[in-house]
Amino acid sequence: MNFDIARKKMVETQIVARGVKDRRVIEAMLKVPRHLFVQEAMAAQAYGDNSLPIGEKQTISQPYTVALMSEMLQLTGSESVLEIGTGSGYQAAILASLARRVYTIERIPALAAKARRLFDALALTNISMKIDDGTVGWASEALFDAIIVTAGAPDIPSALLDQLVVGGCLVIPVGDKQDQVLYRVRKLEDGTVAREKSIPCRFVKLIGREGWSEDQ
């Protein structure tokens, strides 16, 4: 299997064809070797139009979802971005070529260890990662220009809004444990937020202090 050809086809048929226009997002999706972020036995399925299991009952998102969420952040290259839910590390790797610095938090140590090995192997030196409950953010590195949550939340964690710059946006799936809607939430000068609805989606649960409880 030629992964470069498969990746190009993925970008054309799943991402550009569905309306993603941000050149920098398209370039990043063409560049990052998604097949390295899935389980080895599934490498041949890495460029398919779907999410895939990555172990620990978690998933790597569908390529289109990654591209759409990345585009919704409206990054120009100078930003400090926080991601909650490192998982495979794929979304963080995409963000690493769209922003100045990426901070990413994962609660499951085994996934974090795997992702860290990939960041090192691919020399993605502008990614910082820690193992923690990301629903409380990363206070010592705040404020962030943009925040992305890649697990389904019952509501918008208030700590994340506190750690976002005025004018910055938070992209987050909010809903129940099965189905969510993707939102872009912009923090306004008067302290309120403007919510914009995007597509329906289905993420694994955001588990933590401002998320779901583990056994819920």
Instruction: Kindly calculate the radius of gyration of the chain based on its CA atoms and give it in whole angstroms.
Output: 16
Conformation bin of residue 183: beta by default, left when phi > 0, alpha when psi is -120 to 50 = beta
Specify the stretch interacting with ligand SAH by CB under 6 A; choose among 42-50, 82-90, 139-147, 166-174: 82-90
Q: Are 63 and 33 in contact (CB under 8 A)?
A: no
**Applying CB under 6 A, which of residues 29, 63, 72, 134 lies at the interface with ligand SAH?**
134
Q: Minimum distance between the CB of residue 84 and ligand SAH, rounded to whole angstroms?
A: 5
Verify whether residue 80 is a known catalytic residue: no
CB nearer to ligand SAH: pick between 98 and 108: 108
Q: Minimum distance between the CB of residue 87 and ligand SAH, rounded to whole angstroms?
A: 2
Q: Applying CB under 6 A, does 150 fall inside the site for ligand SAH?
A: yes
What 18-21 contacts at long range (C-beta under 8 Å, 24+ apart), as own/partner pairs, is 18/64, 18/68, 20/64, 20/67, 20/68, 20/71, 21/71
Q: Applying CB under 6 A, does 124 fall inside the site for ligand SAH?
A: no
Residue whose CB is nearest to ligand SAH in the complex, by number:
87
Is 104 buried (19+), middle (13-18) or exposed (0-12) by CB count in 10 A? buried
Residue corresponding to tokens 């799943």: 14
Q: Applying CB under 6 A, does 61 fall inside the site for ligand SAH?
A: yes
Sites of contact with ligand SAH (CB under 6 A): 58-61, 84-85, 87-88, 90-91, 105-108, 111, 133-135, 150-151, 204, 206-208, 211
As annotated, the active-site residues are 61
